[in-house]
Amino acid sequence: MIDDVPPVAALPDDLPVIAVLDTGVNDHPLLVDTIVVREAFPAELGQADVNGHGTAVAGVAVFGDLRNQLDEPELQPAARIISAKVVTDQAQFYDRRTLPTQMRIAIERLRQDYDCRIFVLSLGDIKAKFERGRVGPWAATLDELARELDILILVSAGNRDPRGGTRLEQAITQYPQYLLENGNRICEPAGAVNALTVGSIAHSNGLGPQHLFDAHTQAITEPGEPSPFSRSGPGAGGIKKPDFVDYGGTLVFDGVAARLQRAPTLPNAGLLTTNADFLRQALVSKTGTSFSAPHLANKAAKILRYHPGASANLLKALMASSARVPEAALRRLNGVPETEQDQIYGNGLVYPATAAFSDDHRVVLYAEDSLGIDQFAVYHVPIPAEFQGIGRRWIHVSLAFDPPVKRTRAEYVGTRMNYRLIRGCPVDDVFEHFRTHAGEDTSAPDIDSKYNCALKPGPMRRDRNTLQTSSVKFAQATSQYGADYYLVVRCVGGWAAEQELRQNYAVVVELEHEDQLQLYARIRQRARLRT
Protein backbone atom coordinates (compact mmCIF):
# COMPACT_ATOMS: atom_id res chain seq x y z
CA MET A 1 0.00 0.00 0.00
CA ILE A 2 1.18 3.52 -0.76
CA ASP A 3 0.34 4.54 2.83
CA ASP A 4 3.14 2.26 4.04
CA VAL A 5 5.75 4.18 2.02
CA PRO A 6 7.41 7.30 3.48
CA PRO A 7 6.28 10.59 1.90
CA VAL A 8 8.43 12.31 -0.69
CA ALA A 9 10.46 15.21 0.71
CA ALA A 10 9.83 18.69 -0.63
CA LEU A 11 11.54 19.12 -3.98
CA PRO A 12 14.49 21.55 -3.99
CA ASP A 13 14.46 24.10 -6.80
CA ASP A 14 17.87 23.05 -8.07
CA LEU A 15 17.16 19.39 -8.81
CA PRO A 16 18.57 18.40 -12.22
CA VAL A 17 16.25 17.05 -14.91
CA ILE A 18 16.54 13.52 -16.31
CA ALA A 19 14.75 12.63 -19.55
CA VAL A 20 13.52 9.03 -19.61
CA LEU A 21 13.18 7.92 -23.24
CA ASP A 22 11.02 4.84 -22.83
CA THR A 23 7.40 3.62 -22.74
CA GLY A 24 6.15 6.73 -20.94
CA VAL A 25 5.78 7.53 -17.23
CA ASN A 26 2.46 7.40 -15.38
CA ASP A 27 1.38 9.82 -12.64
CA HIS A 28 2.51 7.59 -9.80
CA PRO A 29 1.94 9.26 -6.38
CA LEU A 30 5.69 9.12 -5.66
CA LEU A 31 6.62 10.57 -9.06
CA VAL A 32 3.83 12.99 -9.92
CA ASP A 33 5.48 16.04 -8.37
CA THR A 34 8.81 15.27 -10.04
CA ILE A 35 7.39 15.06 -13.57
CA VAL A 36 8.24 18.23 -15.50
CA VAL A 37 6.39 17.26 -18.66
CA ARG A 38 5.14 14.20 -20.52
CA GLU A 39 5.62 14.05 -24.27
CA ALA A 40 5.64 11.50 -27.06
CA PHE A 41 7.82 11.29 -30.16
CA PRO A 42 5.82 11.01 -32.40
CA ALA A 43 2.70 12.37 -30.72
CA GLU A 44 0.47 9.50 -31.91
CA LEU A 45 2.19 7.17 -29.44
CA GLY A 46 0.24 8.85 -26.62
CA GLN A 47 1.62 9.56 -23.17
CA ALA A 48 0.33 6.74 -20.95
CA ASP A 49 2.73 4.03 -19.82
CA VAL A 50 0.68 0.97 -20.72
CA ASN A 51 3.67 -1.36 -20.77
CA GLY A 52 4.98 -0.25 -17.35
CA HIS A 53 8.69 -0.24 -18.17
CA GLY A 54 9.16 3.53 -18.27
CA THR A 55 7.52 4.20 -14.90
CA ALA A 56 9.80 1.63 -13.26
CA VAL A 57 12.87 3.17 -14.95
CA ALA A 58 11.80 6.65 -13.83
CA GLY A 59 11.43 5.49 -10.22
CA VAL A 60 15.04 4.32 -10.15
CA ALA A 61 16.23 7.53 -11.82
CA VAL A 62 14.52 9.62 -9.14
CA PHE A 63 15.11 7.52 -6.02
CA GLY A 64 17.65 4.82 -6.83
CA ASP A 65 16.70 1.50 -5.22
CA LEU A 66 13.70 2.45 -3.05
CA ARG A 67 14.55 -0.43 -0.73
CA ASN A 68 17.36 1.74 0.63
CA GLN A 69 15.00 4.56 1.67
CA LEU A 70 11.97 2.79 3.14
CA ASP A 71 13.26 3.14 6.70
CA GLU A 72 13.82 6.89 6.32
CA PRO A 73 11.29 9.54 7.44
CA GLU A 74 11.07 10.87 3.88
CA LEU A 75 12.05 9.73 0.41
CA GLN A 76 14.80 11.91 -1.06
CA PRO A 77 14.47 12.50 -4.83
CA ALA A 78 17.66 13.20 -6.76
CA ALA A 79 16.07 14.58 -9.93
CA ARG A 80 13.00 15.75 -11.75
CA ILE A 81 11.74 13.71 -14.69
CA ILE A 82 10.78 14.30 -18.30
CA SER A 83 8.73 11.45 -19.73
CA ALA A 84 9.56 11.01 -23.41
CA LYS A 85 7.61 8.13 -24.91
CA VAL A 86 9.49 6.76 -27.91
CA VAL A 87 8.17 3.18 -28.19
CA THR A 88 4.71 1.64 -28.52
CA ASP A 89 2.53 0.26 -25.75
CA GLN A 90 3.98 -3.16 -26.62
CA ALA A 91 7.51 -1.79 -26.10
CA GLN A 92 8.21 -2.07 -29.82
CA PHE A 93 10.04 0.55 -31.85
CA TYR A 94 7.70 2.85 -33.72
CA ASP A 95 9.74 2.43 -36.91
CA ARG A 96 13.22 0.89 -36.71
CA ARG A 97 14.24 2.56 -39.96
CA THR A 98 13.69 6.05 -38.56
CA LEU A 99 15.10 5.48 -35.07
CA PRO A 100 18.06 7.85 -35.50
CA THR A 101 15.78 10.67 -36.70
CA GLN A 102 13.28 9.99 -33.94
CA MET A 103 16.04 10.15 -31.30
CA ARG A 104 17.50 13.34 -32.74
CA ILE A 105 14.13 15.11 -32.75
CA ALA A 106 13.33 14.04 -29.17
CA ILE A 107 16.73 14.81 -27.63
CA GLU A 108 17.25 18.14 -29.42
CA ARG A 109 13.77 19.28 -28.43
CA LEU A 110 14.13 18.34 -24.75
CA ARG A 111 17.57 19.93 -24.54
CA GLN A 112 16.33 23.17 -26.06
CA ASP A 113 12.95 23.50 -24.33
CA TYR A 114 13.81 22.20 -20.85
CA ASP A 115 17.60 22.53 -20.64
CA CYS A 116 17.79 18.80 -19.94
CA ARG A 117 21.37 17.56 -19.48
CA ILE A 118 20.86 13.85 -18.64
CA PHE A 119 19.10 11.31 -20.87
CA VAL A 120 18.38 7.65 -20.06
CA LEU A 121 17.84 5.07 -22.79
CA SER A 122 17.03 1.68 -21.26
CA LEU A 123 16.33 0.35 -24.74
CA GLY A 124 18.22 -1.73 -27.25
CA ASP A 125 17.85 -3.21 -30.71
CA ILE A 126 18.87 -6.87 -30.56
CA LYS A 127 17.92 -7.30 -34.21
CA ALA A 128 20.62 -4.91 -35.39
CA LYS A 129 23.63 -7.00 -36.40
CA PHE A 130 27.00 -5.34 -36.87
CA GLU A 131 30.55 -6.56 -37.04
CA ARG A 132 32.17 -6.64 -33.62
CA GLY A 133 33.60 -3.24 -32.76
CA ARG A 134 31.31 -1.36 -35.16
CA VAL A 135 28.12 0.57 -34.48
CA GLY A 136 24.88 1.35 -36.26
CA PRO A 137 23.19 4.64 -37.15
CA TRP A 138 21.36 4.85 -33.81
CA ALA A 139 24.61 4.79 -31.81
CA ALA A 140 26.26 7.21 -34.25
CA THR A 141 23.37 9.65 -33.78
CA LEU A 142 23.73 9.49 -30.00
CA ASP A 143 27.47 10.14 -30.35
CA GLU A 144 26.81 13.19 -32.51
CA LEU A 145 24.16 14.54 -30.13
CA ALA A 146 26.32 14.06 -27.04
CA ARG A 147 29.06 16.13 -28.66
CA GLU A 148 26.84 18.79 -30.28
CA LEU A 149 24.56 19.41 -27.28
CA ASP A 150 27.01 18.80 -24.41
CA ILE A 151 24.74 16.23 -22.76
CA LEU A 152 25.11 13.02 -20.80
CA ILE A 153 23.42 10.04 -22.46
CA LEU A 154 23.24 6.79 -20.46
CA VAL A 155 22.45 3.58 -22.33
CA SER A 156 21.80 0.16 -20.83
CA ALA A 157 24.22 -2.56 -21.94
CA GLY A 158 21.35 -4.97 -22.67
CA ASN A 159 20.23 -8.30 -21.23
CA ARG A 160 20.68 -11.93 -22.23
CA ASP A 161 19.72 -15.00 -20.27
CA PRO A 162 22.83 -17.17 -20.01
CA ARG A 163 21.30 -20.57 -20.58
CA GLY A 164 18.04 -22.43 -21.16
CA GLY A 165 16.60 -25.86 -21.85
CA THR A 166 18.86 -28.81 -21.02
CA ARG A 167 21.80 -26.48 -20.39
CA LEU A 168 20.05 -24.46 -17.70
CA GLU A 169 22.39 -25.57 -14.90
CA GLN A 170 25.30 -24.04 -16.81
CA ALA A 171 23.96 -20.68 -15.66
CA ILE A 172 25.67 -21.63 -12.39
CA THR A 173 28.45 -23.99 -13.43
CA GLN A 174 29.77 -21.80 -16.28
CA TYR A 175 29.35 -18.43 -14.59
CA PRO A 176 31.02 -15.98 -15.27
CA GLN A 177 32.67 -17.36 -18.45
CA TYR A 178 29.52 -17.00 -20.56
CA LEU A 179 29.53 -13.24 -20.00
CA LEU A 180 32.33 -13.06 -22.60
CA GLU A 181 30.63 -15.18 -25.27
CA ASN A 182 30.16 -13.58 -28.67
CA GLY A 183 26.40 -13.95 -28.26
CA ASN A 184 26.58 -11.84 -25.12
CA ARG A 185 28.02 -8.72 -26.75
CA ILE A 186 26.34 -5.37 -26.21
CA CYS A 187 23.60 -4.51 -28.67
CA GLU A 188 22.79 -1.32 -30.56
CA PRO A 189 23.16 1.50 -29.43
CA ALA A 190 25.31 0.49 -26.43
CA GLY A 191 28.53 0.64 -28.47
CA ALA A 192 28.38 4.44 -28.76
CA VAL A 193 31.67 6.14 -27.80
CA ASN A 194 30.31 9.46 -26.47
CA ALA A 195 27.39 7.94 -24.55
CA LEU A 196 27.88 6.08 -21.26
CA THR A 197 27.03 2.38 -21.41
CA VAL A 198 25.95 0.84 -18.12
CA GLY A 199 26.24 -2.84 -17.24
CA SER A 200 24.76 -4.51 -14.19
CA ILE A 201 26.10 -5.94 -10.96
CA ALA A 202 24.13 -7.86 -8.35
CA HIS A 203 22.87 -6.04 -5.26
CA SER A 204 22.35 -9.36 -3.45
CA ASN A 205 22.29 -13.10 -4.09
CA GLY A 206 18.57 -12.81 -4.80
CA LEU A 207 17.48 -15.32 -2.17
CA GLY A 208 14.88 -14.55 0.47
CA PRO A 209 14.18 -16.06 3.90
CA GLN A 210 11.98 -18.70 2.29
CA HIS A 211 15.05 -20.18 0.59
CA LEU A 212 17.10 -20.61 3.76
CA PHE A 213 16.68 -24.40 3.79
CA ASP A 214 15.82 -24.87 0.10
CA ALA A 215 18.58 -26.88 -1.54
CA HIS A 216 16.85 -26.74 -4.94
CA THR A 217 17.06 -22.95 -5.29
CA GLN A 218 20.61 -21.73 -5.77
CA ALA A 219 22.15 -18.30 -6.06
CA ILE A 220 24.36 -17.54 -9.06
CA THR A 221 25.92 -14.36 -7.70
CA GLU A 222 26.90 -12.71 -4.47
CA PRO A 223 26.57 -8.94 -3.88
CA GLY A 224 28.92 -6.92 -6.08
CA GLU A 225 29.46 -9.65 -8.68
CA PRO A 226 28.48 -9.16 -12.35
CA SER A 227 24.82 -9.87 -13.02
CA PRO A 228 24.45 -13.09 -15.04
CA PHE A 229 22.28 -11.36 -17.66
CA SER A 230 24.52 -8.31 -18.28
CA ARG A 231 26.07 -7.93 -21.73
CA SER A 232 29.75 -7.18 -22.35
CA GLY A 233 31.85 -5.09 -24.76
CA PRO A 234 33.79 -3.99 -26.67
CA GLY A 235 32.25 -0.92 -28.23
CA ALA A 236 33.01 1.01 -31.40
CA GLY A 237 36.62 0.63 -32.49
CA GLY A 238 37.29 -1.85 -29.69
CA ILE A 239 36.90 0.66 -26.85
CA LYS A 240 36.08 -0.38 -23.30
CA LYS A 241 32.37 -1.01 -22.81
CA PRO A 242 30.44 -0.83 -20.61
CA ASP A 243 31.80 2.40 -19.17
CA PHE A 244 30.39 1.68 -15.71
CA VAL A 245 28.30 -0.83 -13.84
CA ASP A 246 25.56 -0.27 -11.30
CA TYR A 247 23.09 -2.35 -9.37
CA GLY A 248 20.48 -3.99 -11.57
CA GLY A 249 19.59 -7.23 -9.81
CA THR A 250 20.43 -10.86 -10.41
CA LEU A 251 19.04 -14.28 -11.42
CA VAL A 252 18.45 -17.36 -9.27
CA PHE A 253 18.46 -20.99 -10.42
CA ASP A 254 15.28 -22.90 -9.52
CA GLY A 255 16.04 -26.61 -9.93
CA VAL A 256 12.50 -27.81 -9.24
CA ALA A 257 10.79 -25.54 -11.75
CA ALA A 258 13.77 -25.84 -14.13
CA ARG A 259 14.01 -22.13 -14.75
CA LEU A 260 15.93 -18.98 -13.92
CA GLN A 261 13.94 -16.80 -11.55
CA ARG A 262 14.06 -13.01 -11.40
CA ALA A 263 12.04 -10.07 -10.17
CA PRO A 264 9.13 -9.48 -9.87
CA THR A 265 8.47 -13.22 -9.35
CA LEU A 266 11.38 -13.27 -6.91
CA PRO A 267 11.38 -9.77 -5.33
CA ASN A 268 14.79 -10.11 -3.65
CA ALA A 269 16.38 -10.57 -7.08
CA GLY A 270 15.57 -7.03 -8.23
CA LEU A 271 15.51 -3.35 -7.38
CA LEU A 272 12.43 -1.87 -5.72
CA THR A 273 10.84 0.88 -7.79
CA THR A 274 7.57 2.53 -8.79
CA ASN A 275 4.84 0.42 -10.41
CA ALA A 276 2.93 1.81 -13.39
CA ASP A 277 -0.29 0.14 -12.16
CA PHE A 278 0.00 1.87 -8.79
CA LEU A 279 -3.70 1.51 -7.89
CA ARG A 280 -3.18 -2.23 -7.72
CA GLN A 281 0.36 -2.23 -6.29
CA ALA A 282 2.46 0.83 -5.44
CA LEU A 283 5.93 -0.70 -5.73
CA VAL A 284 7.41 -3.46 -7.82
CA SER A 285 10.75 -5.27 -8.00
CA LYS A 286 12.59 -5.22 -11.34
CA THR A 287 15.69 -6.93 -12.78
CA GLY A 288 17.89 -5.88 -15.71
CA THR A 289 20.40 -3.42 -17.09
CA SER A 290 17.32 -1.31 -17.83
CA PHE A 291 17.52 -0.38 -14.15
CA SER A 292 21.27 -0.15 -13.71
CA ALA A 293 21.31 2.69 -16.30
CA PRO A 294 18.83 4.94 -14.41
CA HIS A 295 20.60 3.97 -11.17
CA LEU A 296 23.72 5.62 -12.58
CA ALA A 297 21.64 8.54 -13.90
CA ASN A 298 20.45 9.09 -10.32
CA LYS A 299 24.10 9.41 -9.25
CA ALA A 300 24.93 11.66 -12.20
CA ALA A 301 22.10 13.99 -11.14
CA LYS A 302 23.56 14.22 -7.63
CA ILE A 303 26.95 15.19 -9.06
CA LEU A 304 25.42 17.71 -11.49
CA ARG A 305 23.49 19.35 -8.67
CA TYR A 306 26.77 20.24 -6.94
CA HIS A 307 28.55 21.10 -10.21
CA PRO A 308 25.71 22.73 -12.19
CA GLY A 309 28.06 24.36 -14.67
CA ALA A 310 30.00 21.20 -15.44
CA SER A 311 30.27 20.03 -19.03
CA ALA A 312 29.29 16.48 -19.92
CA ASN A 313 33.00 15.68 -20.26
CA LEU A 314 33.68 16.89 -16.72
CA LEU A 315 30.76 14.91 -15.33
CA LYS A 316 32.11 11.78 -16.99
CA ALA A 317 35.64 12.41 -15.75
CA LEU A 318 34.43 13.00 -12.17
CA MET A 319 32.39 9.80 -12.32
CA ALA A 320 35.38 7.85 -13.62
CA SER A 321 37.64 9.27 -10.93
CA SER A 322 35.28 8.09 -8.21
CA ALA A 323 34.59 4.66 -9.71
CA ARG A 324 35.97 1.49 -8.17
CA VAL A 325 35.51 -2.12 -9.18
CA PRO A 326 33.83 -4.01 -6.32
CA GLU A 327 36.14 -6.47 -4.58
CA ALA A 328 33.59 -9.22 -5.13
CA ALA A 329 33.79 -8.71 -8.90
CA LEU A 330 37.59 -8.80 -8.83
CA ARG A 331 37.57 -12.05 -6.88
CA ARG A 332 34.98 -13.66 -9.14
CA LEU A 333 36.87 -12.69 -12.30
CA ASN A 334 40.29 -13.63 -10.95
CA GLY A 335 42.14 -15.43 -13.72
CA VAL A 336 40.22 -13.72 -16.53
CA PRO A 337 42.58 -11.51 -18.61
CA GLU A 338 42.37 -7.88 -17.54
CA THR A 339 41.40 -6.68 -21.01
CA GLU A 340 38.39 -9.01 -20.91
CA GLN A 341 37.51 -7.98 -17.37
CA ASP A 342 37.29 -4.41 -18.68
CA GLN A 343 34.52 -5.50 -21.05
CA ILE A 344 32.40 -6.79 -18.16
CA TYR A 345 32.65 -4.12 -15.47
CA GLY A 346 34.21 -1.16 -17.32
CA ASN A 347 35.55 1.44 -14.90
CA GLY A 348 33.49 0.08 -12.02
CA LEU A 349 30.84 1.44 -9.67
CA VAL A 350 30.47 5.22 -9.28
CA TYR A 351 30.41 6.83 -5.82
CA PRO A 352 28.70 10.22 -6.21
CA ALA A 353 29.86 11.78 -2.93
CA THR A 354 33.47 10.98 -3.84
CA ALA A 355 32.95 12.48 -7.30
CA ALA A 356 31.27 15.66 -6.04
CA PHE A 357 33.39 16.60 -3.03
CA SER A 358 36.92 16.82 -1.70
CA ASP A 359 37.64 16.16 1.97
CA ASP A 360 40.60 16.61 4.31
CA HIS A 361 42.63 13.61 3.14
CA ARG A 362 41.35 13.45 -0.45
CA VAL A 363 41.53 16.32 -2.93
CA VAL A 364 39.92 16.47 -6.37
CA LEU A 365 41.48 18.86 -8.92
CA TYR A 366 39.98 19.35 -12.37
CA ALA A 367 40.24 21.36 -15.57
CA GLU A 368 38.08 21.79 -18.67
CA ASP A 369 39.86 22.76 -21.85
CA SER A 370 40.27 22.20 -25.58
CA LEU A 371 43.18 21.32 -27.84
CA GLY A 372 43.84 21.49 -31.53
CA ILE A 373 44.90 18.38 -33.39
CA ASP A 374 48.47 17.30 -32.53
CA GLN A 375 48.70 19.77 -29.65
CA PHE A 376 49.38 19.08 -25.99
CA ALA A 377 48.84 20.80 -22.64
CA VAL A 378 50.90 20.51 -19.46
CA TYR A 379 49.12 20.87 -16.11
CA HIS A 380 50.91 21.53 -12.84
CA VAL A 381 49.83 19.14 -10.05
CA PRO A 382 50.92 20.42 -6.62
CA ILE A 383 52.14 17.69 -4.26
CA PRO A 384 52.27 18.88 -0.61
CA ALA A 385 54.97 17.61 1.73
CA GLU A 386 52.39 15.60 3.67
CA PHE A 387 51.75 13.53 0.55
CA GLN A 388 55.42 12.73 0.00
CA GLY A 389 56.08 10.80 3.21
CA ILE A 390 55.63 7.14 4.10
CA GLY A 391 52.08 5.80 4.02
CA ARG A 392 49.62 4.39 1.51
CA ARG A 393 48.41 7.01 -0.93
CA TRP A 394 47.12 7.22 -4.46
CA ILE A 395 46.96 9.56 -7.42
CA HIS A 396 43.97 8.93 -9.70
CA VAL A 397 43.84 10.53 -13.16
CA SER A 398 40.79 10.61 -15.44
CA LEU A 399 40.23 12.07 -18.90
CA ALA A 400 36.98 12.40 -20.86
CA PHE A 401 36.53 13.76 -24.38
CA ASP A 402 33.85 13.62 -27.08
CA PRO A 403 35.39 13.00 -30.51
CA PRO A 404 33.61 13.59 -33.81
CA VAL A 405 32.43 10.34 -35.40
CA LYS A 406 31.61 9.01 -38.86
CA ARG A 407 30.26 5.55 -39.64
CA THR A 408 31.51 5.83 -43.22
CA ARG A 409 35.14 6.08 -42.11
CA ALA A 410 37.31 3.05 -41.51
CA GLU A 411 38.28 4.76 -38.23
CA TYR A 412 34.98 5.67 -36.50
CA VAL A 413 36.36 8.35 -34.16
CA GLY A 414 38.04 11.44 -35.56
CA THR A 415 40.47 12.22 -32.70
CA ARG A 416 42.42 10.37 -30.04
CA MET A 417 43.63 11.67 -26.70
CA ASN A 418 45.94 10.38 -23.97
CA TYR A 419 47.82 11.55 -20.90
CA ARG A 420 51.03 10.92 -18.96
CA LEU A 421 51.87 11.89 -15.36
CA ILE A 422 55.47 13.12 -14.95
CA ARG A 423 57.45 13.61 -11.73
CA GLY A 424 60.96 14.78 -10.84
CA CYS A 425 61.53 16.41 -14.21
CA PRO A 426 62.02 20.16 -14.85
CA VAL A 427 58.99 21.60 -16.59
CA ASP A 428 61.09 22.95 -19.47
CA ASP A 429 62.30 19.42 -20.16
CA VAL A 430 58.71 18.14 -20.09
CA PHE A 431 57.68 20.70 -22.70
CA GLU A 432 60.71 19.99 -24.86
CA HIS A 433 60.16 16.24 -24.86
CA PHE A 434 56.49 16.39 -25.88
CA ARG A 435 57.09 19.24 -28.30
CA THR A 436 59.65 17.03 -30.03
CA HIS A 437 57.05 14.25 -30.36
CA ALA A 438 54.10 16.46 -31.32
CA GLY A 439 52.28 15.08 -34.33
CA GLU A 440 53.25 11.48 -33.63
CA ASP A 441 50.60 8.86 -32.98
CA THR A 442 49.67 7.35 -29.61
CA SER A 443 52.69 5.05 -29.72
CA ALA A 444 55.12 7.98 -29.43
CA PRO A 445 57.92 7.10 -26.98
CA ASP A 446 57.28 8.08 -23.38
CA ILE A 447 59.58 10.28 -21.41
CA ASP A 448 62.40 8.54 -19.54
CA SER A 449 60.88 5.88 -17.29
CA LYS A 450 62.43 7.37 -14.15
CA TYR A 451 60.20 10.42 -14.66
CA ASN A 452 57.08 8.56 -15.72
CA CYS A 453 54.50 7.63 -13.06
CA ALA A 454 53.44 4.03 -13.72
CA LEU A 455 49.69 4.60 -13.85
CA LYS A 456 47.57 1.46 -14.08
CA PRO A 457 45.94 0.42 -16.28
CA GLY A 458 48.71 1.39 -18.64
CA PRO A 459 48.59 3.10 -22.04
CA MET A 460 47.91 -0.09 -23.99
CA ARG A 461 44.63 -0.60 -22.12
CA ARG A 462 43.45 2.97 -21.77
CA ASP A 463 44.66 5.10 -24.72
CA ARG A 464 42.02 3.94 -27.20
CA ASN A 465 39.11 4.90 -24.91
CA THR A 466 37.19 8.20 -24.91
CA LEU A 467 36.85 7.85 -21.13
CA GLN A 468 40.17 6.98 -19.51
CA THR A 469 41.08 6.50 -15.87
CA SER A 470 44.11 5.07 -14.07
CA SER A 471 45.91 5.23 -10.73
CA VAL A 472 49.31 4.94 -9.14
CA LYS A 473 49.85 3.79 -5.54
CA PHE A 474 52.71 4.80 -3.27
CA ALA A 475 53.80 3.37 0.06
CA GLN A 476 57.39 4.61 0.44
CA ALA A 477 58.56 8.21 0.65
CA THR A 478 58.73 10.09 -2.66
CA SER A 479 60.29 13.36 -1.51
CA GLN A 480 63.17 12.89 -3.98
CA TYR A 481 60.72 13.74 -6.79
CA GLY A 482 59.81 17.10 -5.31
CA ALA A 483 56.53 18.96 -4.92
CA ASP A 484 55.74 19.52 -8.60
CA TYR A 485 54.23 16.83 -10.81
CA TYR A 486 53.03 17.49 -14.35
CA LEU A 487 50.12 16.00 -16.22
CA VAL A 488 50.60 16.03 -19.99
CA VAL A 489 47.42 15.76 -22.08
CA ARG A 490 47.80 15.11 -25.81
CA CYS A 491 45.33 15.36 -28.69
CA VAL A 492 46.46 13.00 -31.42
CA GLY A 493 45.42 13.56 -35.02
CA GLY A 494 42.89 11.39 -36.80
CA TRP A 495 40.73 12.18 -39.79
CA ALA A 496 39.44 15.24 -37.88
CA ALA A 497 42.78 16.91 -38.65
CA GLU A 498 41.42 17.53 -42.14
CA GLN A 499 38.69 19.75 -40.63
CA GLU A 500 40.91 21.74 -38.24
CA LEU A 501 38.65 20.90 -35.31
CA ARG A 502 39.39 21.61 -31.66
CA GLN A 503 38.71 18.83 -29.20
CA ASN A 504 36.97 19.64 -25.91
CA TYR A 505 37.93 17.56 -22.89
CA ALA A 506 38.00 17.46 -19.10
CA VAL A 507 40.69 16.05 -16.86
CA VAL A 508 40.48 15.17 -13.15
CA VAL A 509 43.36 14.48 -10.76
CA GLU A 510 42.58 13.07 -7.32
CA LEU A 511 45.12 12.84 -4.50
CA GLU A 512 44.10 10.41 -1.76
CA HIS A 513 45.90 9.46 1.47
CA GLU A 514 44.81 6.69 3.84
CA ASP A 515 45.66 8.88 6.86
CA GLN A 516 43.51 11.81 7.92
CA LEU A 517 45.90 14.50 6.72
CA GLN A 518 45.02 18.11 5.93
CA LEU A 519 45.69 17.72 2.20
CA TYR A 520 42.80 19.90 1.14
CA ALA A 521 43.99 22.91 3.12
CA ARG A 522 47.59 22.50 1.91
CA ILE A 523 46.71 22.22 -1.77
CA ARG A 524 44.17 25.02 -1.58
CA GLN A 525 46.95 27.29 -0.41
CA ARG A 526 48.99 26.50 -3.53
CA ALA A 527 46.84 26.23 -6.63
CA ARG A 528 44.06 24.60 -8.57
CA LEU A 529 45.02 22.27 -11.36
CA ARG A 530 46.32 24.69 -13.98
CA THR A 531 47.97 24.67 -17.35
Contact 273, 90 (CB under 8 A): no
Contact 38, 25 (CB under 8 A): yes
On whether residue 414 sits in a domain, the answer given is yes
Give how many domains the chain has, as a whole number: 2
Domain boundary among 320, 351, 382: 351
80 contacts: CB under 8 Å, gap ≥ 6? 11, 15, 16, 17, 18, 34, 35, 36, 62
Domain boundary among 351, 385, 401: 351
Residue 111, H or E segment: helix 99-114
Secondary structure of 335-363 as H, E, C letters: CCCHHHHHHHHCCCECCHHHHHCCECCEE
- Same structural domain, 391 and 334: no
- Same structural domain, 329 and 364: no
For the chain, how are helix, strand and coil distributed in percent, rounded to 5?
A: 30, 25, 45
Render pLDDT for 230-286 as a digit per residue (tens, 0 to 9). Answer: 999 998 888 999 999 999 999 999 888 889 999 999 999 999 999 999 999 999 999
pLDDT band at 448 (very low <50, low <70, confident <90, very high): confident
- Looking at residue 527, its pLDDT comes to 44
- Same structural domain, 163 and 57: yes
- Looking at residue 521, its pLDDT comes to 61
Q: What is the percent of the chain where pLDDT is above 70? A: 94
- Same structural domain, 347 and 362: no
Domain with 446 in it: what CATH number?
Answer: 2.60.120.380
- Same structural domain, 501 and 401: yes
- Same structural domain, 217 and 106: yes
Contact 20, 82 (CB under 8 A): yes
- Same structural domain, 335 and 480: no
Contact 276, 269 (CB under 8 A): no
Render pLDDT for 85-129 as a digit per residue (tens, 0 to 9). Answer: 999 999 898 887 889 999 999 999 999 999 999 999 999 988 877
On whether residue 531 sits in a domain, the answer given is no
Render pLDDT for 210-244 as a digit per residue (tens, 0 to 9). Answer: 777 777 889 999 999 999 999 999 988 889 999 99
Domain with 291 in it: what CATH number?
Answer: 3.40.50.200
217 contacts: CB under 8 Å, gap ≥ 6? 207, 211, 252, 253, 254, 255, 256, 261
Q: Write b or e for each residue in 142-178: b if 16 or more Cβ atoms lie within 10 A of its Cβ, otherwise e.
A: bbbbbbebbbbbbbbbbbbebbeeeebeebbeebbeb
Using CA atoms, how far apart are residues 19 and 61, in angstroms rounded to an integer?
9
Vertex 182 angle, CA 205 and 236, to 5°: 100
- Looking at residue 299, its pLDDT comes to 98
- Same structural domain, 320 and 362: no
Kindly tell me if the per-residue pLDDT of 401 is higher than 60. yes
- Looking at residue 525, its pLDDT comes to 47
Instruction: Please compute the mean of the pLDDT values over residues 156-178 and round it to a whole number.
Output: 91
pTM above 0.75, yes or no: yes
Q: Which of 20-24, 107-111, 353-357, 358-362 has the least mean pLDDT? A: 358-362
pLDDT band at 526 (very low <50, low <70, confident <90, very high): very low
pLDDT band at 446 (very low <50, low <70, confident <90, very high): low
On whether residue 98 sits in a domain, the answer given is yes
- Same structural domain, 333 and 387: no
Domain membership of residue 389 as a residue range: 358-526
- Same structural domain, 406 and 303: no
Using CA atoms, how far apart are residues 379 and 261, in angstroms rounded to an integer?
52
Mean pLDDT, the chain, rounded, equals 91
- Looking at residue 391, its pLDDT comes to 85
**H helical segments located in 115-248:** 137-149, 170-173
